[in-house]
């Protein structure tokens, strides 16, 4: 799949933002006044910024509001509804903390749960696609939760919890890559099943349907970027999980340490999210004899 | 609504005969011609006369080589367009309801005025049947020439999809698969019509007829027509050339 910056930024930032909203909603921490404003500003900037980034890849962004209509069937629609509901409910909670020095825990809990629901719907947009076996694994939503919670805990300043979650995330992500590597073969797809010509022998493409490129190849068949995948995986695991966890566990936790841990986490997060798209093989590539 | 209908009254679709298709791409061209000038946004080309032309097509013809060990390879031309699946995954993922499957005839269509161009339907389709139009930012796909097949303003003989109408080899057939006596149903049954990528469980309506087996000319190691003459060919060369051959072998 084409690793478009808009979707990488969208999934990475909105995951962090909604992860932070989850912790804020349940009172970890429960800041007041200007401090509360700072926390909620970061959470909303990430969440809303991510959602806005996702509209950049639309062909007709002016009609984006129509995407709220099909929540009964479409995970993308559900994601939009869940995100807006989270932001609205949390706004009530945030206004209480910022302006009235008063917590409304019911709104906080509801908003926190909605934030988790939003992360789940985001993961399902990718997880539901049988055409991309690497994403069509039960571990995909688990990983999205792990990213949102680990990053959210880090942003919320919950140092010990963040360290544990970051280590857990590293392990889960590593397992995800190992399982993902086998997913395409396990799903049983091949150029023979794609063309139905398997009974006649071994199939290969002799001539493509077009001499240039097309939308399908540009969007769904990304083969160039995987050359350094193994090295990038290693860099991602170290920067997104191991370095920040080590900093939080072995150094006295303060603003500066948290900031460095966050910077390292962001680098790893973006690399791993780039790999999430670049390594995902769509079955349509079989028709082009390309994976 | 992007919920799929439980069942459709008709199941209109195509039979594509891989034995007959000669790979001329006439279906591709006639499809582009009809659909760029009729229903919906035109099928645009980008940089059409430049170095890297790219354009929107609803129908593409791949060419494959099929080879069994010890046998002559076989060339198969393979036209590919929307299969109008009964369990169309492209429809249910649509967030706006722009994509839908018609209850009356099973055709999968895009309402372009509702399409936001998110591209998720193209991600969900295993067959590469949907292409985003770069000029309009909306998803384009085969309409089964819905604006021809019910069109009273054109001669009756033309009320079939453009690709079927134009095929010079007669490799494409259009009809109703819900009717077991329709010519497409009978043709598919007689020739072992197959689904593409059945493991995706999309239940495509379109059927592909596998190529008939080729006469095997290498099975017994002889080419029958010329074999009697070929038998007499010497396996070793004598004279100066024979000596030279052996000398060079040794060298």
B79: enclosing H helix or E strand: strand B74-80
- Least confident residue range of A5-14, A153-162, B19-28, B99-108: A5-14
Contact A245, A166 (CB under 8 A): yes
pLDDT of residue B248: 86
Q: Which pLDDT band holds residue A208 (cuts at 50, 70, 90)?
A: very high
Q: Which pLDDT band holds residue A57 (cuts at 50, 70, 90)?
A: confident
Radius of gyration of chain B (CA): 25
Contacts of B57 in chain A (CB under 8 A): 210, 214
Say whether A58 and B213 touch across the interface (CB within 8 A).
no
Distance CA A143, CA A168 (A): 10
Q: Span A92-114, mean pLDDT?
A: 96
Is residue A59's pLDDT more than 80? yes
- The pLDDT tens digits for A43-56 are 999 999 888 888 88
Contact A202, B68 (CB under 8 A): yes
The third-level CATH classification (topology) of the domain covering B12-209 is Alpha-Beta Plaits (3.30.70)
> What percent of chain A shows pLDDT beyond 90?
90
**Centroid of chain to Cα B48:** 24
Tokens of A215: 């939308």
pLDDT of residue A173: 98
Q: Span A201-230, mean pLDDT?
A: 89
Q: Which pLDDT band holds residue B192 (cuts at 50, 70, 90)?
A: very high
- What is the residue extent of each domain of chain A? 1-128, 160-291
Q: Read out DSSP for A160-222?
A: HHHHHHHHHHHHHHHHHHHHHHHHHHHTT--HHHHHT-GGG-EEEEEE-S-SS--HHHHHH--
How high is the ipTM of this complex? 0.94
pLDDT of residue B13: 98
Is residue A71's pLDDT more than 90? yes
- The pLDDT tens digits for A260-278 are 999 999 999 999 999 999 9
- On whether any CB of chain B is under 8 Å from the CB of A194, the answer is yes
Contact A3, A51 (CB under 8 A): no
Contacts of A218 in chain B (CB under 8 A): 54
Task: Please give, rounded to a whole number of angstroms, the shortest distance from the CA of B229 to a CA of chain A.
Answer: 32
pLDDT of residue B14: 98
- Asked whether the CA dihedral A263, A265, A270, A275 is positive or negative, the reply is positive
The chain-wide mean pLDDT, for chain A, equals 95
Indicate the DSSP class of residue B210: P
Contact B192, B209 (CB under 8 A): yes
Please state whether B117 falls in left (phi above 0), alpha (psi between -120 and 50) or beta: left
What are the residues facing B15 on neighbouring strands? B173, B207
By C-alpha distance, the chain B residue nearest A124 is B93
Compare B219 and B100 and report the one with higher pLDDT: B100
- On whether any CB of chain B is under 8 Å from the CB of A200, the answer is yes
> What percent of chain B shows pLDDT beyond 90?
78
Contact B112, B229 (CB under 8 A): no
Task: Please give, rounded to a whole number of angstroms, the shortest distance from the CA of A165 to a CA of chain B.
Answer: 31
- On whether any CB of chain B is under 8 Å from the CB of A205, the answer is yes
- What angle do the packed helices A5-25 and A105-127 form, to 10 degrees? 150
Say whether B2 and A188 touch across the interface (CB within 8 A).
no
Distance CA A288, CA A281 (A): 12
- The pLDDT tens digits for B16-64 are 999 999 999 999 999 999 999 988 999 999 999 999 999 999 999 999 9
- The pLDDT tens digits for A114-130 are 999 999 999 999 999 99
pLDDT of residue B227: 60
- The pLDDT tens digits for B58-81 are 999 999 999 988 888 899 999 999
- On whether any CB of chain B is under 8 Å from the CB of A213, the answer is yes
- The pLDDT tens digits for B155-169 are 999 999 999 999 999
pLDDT of residue B219: 54
Which of A7, A56, A63, A183 to probe by mutation at the B interface, max B CB count within 10 Å? A63
Q: Span B124-138, mean pLDDT?
A: 96
Interface subset of A 126-165, CB within 8 angstroms of B: 128-132
pLDDT of residue B228: 59
């Amino acid at each position: 799949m084409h690793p478009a910056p808009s979707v990488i930024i969208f999934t990475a930032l909105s995951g962090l933002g909604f992860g932070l909203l989850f912790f804020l909603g349940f009172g970890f921490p429960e800041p007041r006044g200007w401090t509360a404003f700072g926390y909620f500003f970061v959470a909303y900037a990430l969440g809303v910024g991510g959602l806005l980034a996702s509209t950049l890849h639309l062909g007709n962004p002016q009609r984006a509001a129509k995407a709220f209509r099909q929540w009964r069937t479409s995970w993308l629609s559900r994601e939009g509804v869940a995100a807006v509901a989270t932001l609205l409910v949390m706004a009530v909670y945030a206004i209480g903390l910022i302006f009235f020095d008063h917590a409304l825990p019911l709104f906080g809990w509801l908003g926190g749960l909605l934030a988790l629901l939003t992360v789940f719907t985001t993961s399902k947009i990718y997880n539901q696609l049988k055409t991309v076996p690497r994403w069509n694994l039960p571990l995909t939503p688990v990983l999205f939760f792990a990213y949102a919670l680990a990053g959210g805990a880090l942003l919320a300043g919950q140092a010990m919890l963040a360290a544990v979650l970051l280590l857990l995330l590293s392990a889960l992500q590593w397992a995800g890559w190992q399982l993902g590597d086998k997913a395409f073969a396990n799903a049983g797809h091949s150029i023979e099943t794609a063309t139905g010509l398997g009974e006649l022998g071994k199939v290969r493409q002799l001539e493509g349907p077009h001499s240039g490129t097309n939308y399908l190849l540009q969007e769904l068949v990304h083969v160039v970027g995987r050359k350094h995948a193994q090295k990038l995986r290693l860099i991602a695991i170290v920067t997104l999980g191991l370095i920040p966890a080590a900093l939080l566990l072995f150094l006295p936790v303060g603003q500066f340490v948290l900031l460095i841990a966050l910077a390292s986490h962001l680098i790893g997060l973006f690399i791993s999210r780039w790999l999430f798209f670049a390594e995902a093989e769509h079955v349509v590539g079989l028709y082009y004899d390309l994976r | 609504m992007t919920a799929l209908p439980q069942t459709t009254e008709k199941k209109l679709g195509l039979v594509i005969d891989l034995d007959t298709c000669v790979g001329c791409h006439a279906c591709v061209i006639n499809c582009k011609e009809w659909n760029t000038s009729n229903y919906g946004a035109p099928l645009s080309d980008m940089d059409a006369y430049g170095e890297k032309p790219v354009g929107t097509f609803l129908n593409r013809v791949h060419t494959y080589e099929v080879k069994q060990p010890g046998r002559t390879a076989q060339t198969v031309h393979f036209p590919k367009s929307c299969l109008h699946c009964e369990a169309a995954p492209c429809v249910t993922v649509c967030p706006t309801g722009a994509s839908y499957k018609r209850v009356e005839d099973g055709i999968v269509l895009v309402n372009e005025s509702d399409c936001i161009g998110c591209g998720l339907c193209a991600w969900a389709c295993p067959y590469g049947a949907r292409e985003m139009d770069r000029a309009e930012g909306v998803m384009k796909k085969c309409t089964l020439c819905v604006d021809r097949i019910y069109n009273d303003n054109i001669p009756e003989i033309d009320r079939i999809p453009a690709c079927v109408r134009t095929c010079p080899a007669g490799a494409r057939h259009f009809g109703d698969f819900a009717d077991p006596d329709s010519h497409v149903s009978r043709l598919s049954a007689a020739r072992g019509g197959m689904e593409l990528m059945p493991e995706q469980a999309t239940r495509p309506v379109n059927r592909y007829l596998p190529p008939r087996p080729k006469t095997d000319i290498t099975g017994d190691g002889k080419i029958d027509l010329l074999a009697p003459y070929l038998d007499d060919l010497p396996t070793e060369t004598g004279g100066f050339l024979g000596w030279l051959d052996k000398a060079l072998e040794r060298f």
